[in-house]
Amino acid sequence: MNNDSIAVTLVSGFLGAGKTTLLNRIAQQPQHGRMAVIVNDFGELNIDAAIIAEVTDAVFSLQNGCICCTVQEDLLAQLVSLSQLHPRLDRIVIECSGVSDPQRIVQTLGYPQLKAHLHLDTVITLVDASGYSHLEGEFARLSRAQVACADLVLLNKADLVSAAELQSLRATIGARTRVISTVQAQIPDTLLLGERSPRNGFTPVPAPHHELFESWTWQGTQALPAKTLRDWLGQLPKDVFRLKGLVHLQGNEQPFWLQHVGNRSQFTLASGEHAQNSAQLVFIARRGSGLRAALEAQLQEMQGL
Ligand SMILES: Nc1nc2c(ncn2[C@@H]2O[C@H](COP(=O)(O)OP(=O)(O)OP(=O)(O)O)[C@@H](O)[C@H]2O)c(=O)[nH]1
């Protein structure tokens, strides 16, 4: 590795585990030097990039596909272009989408056209402590693969589970990796800058893993009634893994970022300019769930209330 080599941090973890929360934190810390952030969102709108753009300008977006398979070529091109910037970057942080297998991205970073310019510093995987053990089948397998690739695991959302549950999750994840419990992905800065531990022999999850998921965007044109929307969110089927985007709520000038994971929703005031009363919501659900038409009709109806 030469002295000019740019350090790369990979941030991985299942849908809604807290990756963007961590990225927001990192992006605001000047000690990481000249840094660029690459954000991959599986949906056709890159909500995460828009959120991170509220705290830093150096955000590059890869959307509408999975960074480890369908938009892998775009990642390669983006990394080549970032590695040629002057003055040189000190660090690139890549936020994988929640459906990605980070092991495939580790392989991409080893391509000859990148190897001379970049080196992998740390793979951080966030685990939603309240949701990890509820994942089943292929979804659980993908989530375990994300953990297996990590140098550092953040058992995030520790505020939502008991000490005993945290203990049991630690035991499940195993002793091989550093595991830290966090709330809102809050960790000491020094832990983000590590040396990658030697890793051998991982088998990436088979390529069509992104086909386990489907994503669609609903665009609204009117403000929604807050209470009805909250009640609706509280009853979403568990096949909806993730829902996020921008909404206007009746009686409020400014729009809100809506985040929904598991059975929890959060609204935070959005800054910047946004079209009046519009809504853009990205859904990520189990492929074949057949939920789209009914959920869209319900939102449509809610607009008229
Ligand atoms: N209660 C609780 N909520 C958290 C914590 N960390 C993050 N969240 C919330 O969880 C939701 C999802 O967080 P994000 O950071 O967007 O998750 P993500 O992994 O980037 O999501 P995707 O990119 O869609 O996979 C947001 O509403 C966060 O505010 C935590 O430690 N505790």
Q: What is the share, in percent, of the chain residues with pLDDT greater than 90? A: 48
Q: Show which of 192, 211, 231 is a domain's final residue.
A: 192
Shared-domain flag, residues 209 and 250: yes
Shared-domain flag, residues 14 and 42: yes
Q: What ligand 1 atom has the least distance to the C-alpha of 17?
A: 19
Position of tokens 């832990």? 191
What's the rounded mean pLDDT across residues 272-291? 85
Question: In angstroms, what is the span from residue 254 Cα to ligand 1's centroid?
Answer: 22
Shared-domain flag, residues 207 and 298: yes
Q: Is 21 in the pocket of ligand 1 (CB under 6 A)?
A: yes
Residue 27 domain-assigned (yes or no): yes
**CATH number, position 285:** 3.30.1220.10
Q: What ligand 1 atom has the least distance to the C-alpha of 156?
A: 31
Residue 12 domain-assigned (yes or no): yes
Q: What ligand 1 atom has the least distance to the C-alpha of 284?
A: 24
* Domains contained in the chain, number: 2
| pLDDT tens-digit series, residues 78-128 | 899 899 988 889 889 999 989 888 888 888 888 888 888 999 988 999 999
Tell me what pLDDT residue 275 has: 67
Residue ranges of the alpha helices (H) in the chain? 19-27, 47-52, 72-83, 102-109, 112-115, 137-148, 163-173, 226-234, 292-303
Q: Is 184 in the pocket of ligand 1 (CB under 6 A)?
A: yes
Residue 28 domain-assigned (yes or no): yes
Shared-domain flag, residues 188 and 216: no
Pocket test for ligand 1, best of 45, 59, 261 (most atoms within 8 A of CB): 261
Question: In angstroms, what is the span from residue 19 Cα to ligand 1's centroid?
Answer: 7
Top mean pLDDT of 3-7, 23-27, 102-106, 262-266 is at 262-266
Residue 280 domain-assigned (yes or no): yes
Residue 277 domain-assigned (yes or no): yes
Q: Is 255 in the pocket of ligand 1 (CB under 6 A)?
A: no
Tell me what pLDDT residue 294 has: 96
Q: Is 156 in the pocket of ligand 1 (CB under 6 A)?
A: yes
Give the angle subtended at the CA of 233 by the CAs of 124 and 221, to the nearest 5°: 100
| pLDDT tens-digit series, residues 210-250 | 788 999 999 999 999 999 999 999 999 999 999 999 999 99
Residue 197 domain-assigned (yes or no): no
SS3 label, residue 38? strand
**CATH number, position 170:** 3.40.50.300
Residue 1 domain-assigned (yes or no): no
Question: In angstroms, what is the span from residue 180 Cα to ligand 1's centroid?
Answer: 16
Question: In angstroms, what is the span from residue 265 Cα to ligand 1's centroid?
Answer: 10
Tell me what pLDDT residue 94 has: 93
Tell me what pLDDT residue 244 has: 94
Question: Confidence class of residue 192 from pLDDT cuts 50, 70 and 90?
Answer: low
Shared-domain flag, residues 167 and 212: no
Question: In angstroms, what is the span from residue 55 Cα to ligand 1's centroid?
Answer: 17
Shared-domain flag, residues 76 and 186: yes
Position of tokens 């000859």? 112
Helices 226-234 + 292-303 axis angle, to 10: 160
User: Please, what is the average pLDDT of the chain?
Assistant: 86
Question: In angstroms, what is the span from residue 2 Cα to ligand 1's centroid?
Answer: 36
Q: Residue 288: is its pLDDT beyond 70?
A: yes
Shared-domain flag, residues 259 and 133: no
* Atom 6 (ligand 1) nearest CA: 184
Closest CA to 234 of 290, 297, 298, 166: 298
Residue 116 domain-assigned (yes or no): yes
* Atom 25 (ligand 1) nearest CA: 15
Model pTM? 0.89
Q: Show which of 136, 169, 192 is a domain's final residue.
A: 192
Q: Is 159 in the pocket of ligand 1 (CB under 6 A)?
A: yes
Q: Residue 276: is its pLDDT beyond 80?
A: no
Shared-domain flag, residues 220 and 266: yes
Q: Show which of 165, 192, 219 is a domain's final residue.
A: 192
Q: Residue 193: is its pLDDT beyond 60?
A: yes
Tell me what pLDDT residue 166 has: 94
**Rounded distance, CA 118 to CA 185, Å?**
26
Shared-domain flag, residues 172 and 225: no
Contact 213, 287 (CB under 8 A): yes
Segments of the chain assigned E as strands? 6-13, 35-41, 59-63, 91-95, 118-128, 152-156, 178-181, 213-220, 240-247, 256-261, 264-269, 279-286
Lowest average pLDDT, out of 123-127, 269-273, 289-293, goes to 269-273
Q: Residue 207: is its pLDDT beyond 60?
A: no
> What's phi and psi for 67, nearest 5 deg?
-60, -25
Structural domain for 287, as ranges: 203-303
What ipTM describes this predicted complex?
Answer: 0.99
Shared-domain flag, residues 43 and 88: yes
What's the rounded mean pLDDT across residues 198-221? 74
SS3 label, residue 32? helix
Tell me what pLDDT residue 51 has: 75
Burial grade of 151 (CB within 10 A; 0-12, 13-18, 19 or more): buried
Residue of higher predicted confidence among 283 and 192: 283
Shared-domain flag, residues 185 and 263: no
| pLDDT tens-digit series, residues 33-64 | 888 889 887 777 777 777 777 766 677 777 66
Shared-domain flag, residues 289 and 170: no
Strand order in the sheet with 256-261: 213-220, 279-286, 240-247, 256-261, 264-269
Tell me what pLDDT residue 200 has: 52
**Rounded distance, CA 187 to CA 31, Å?**
15
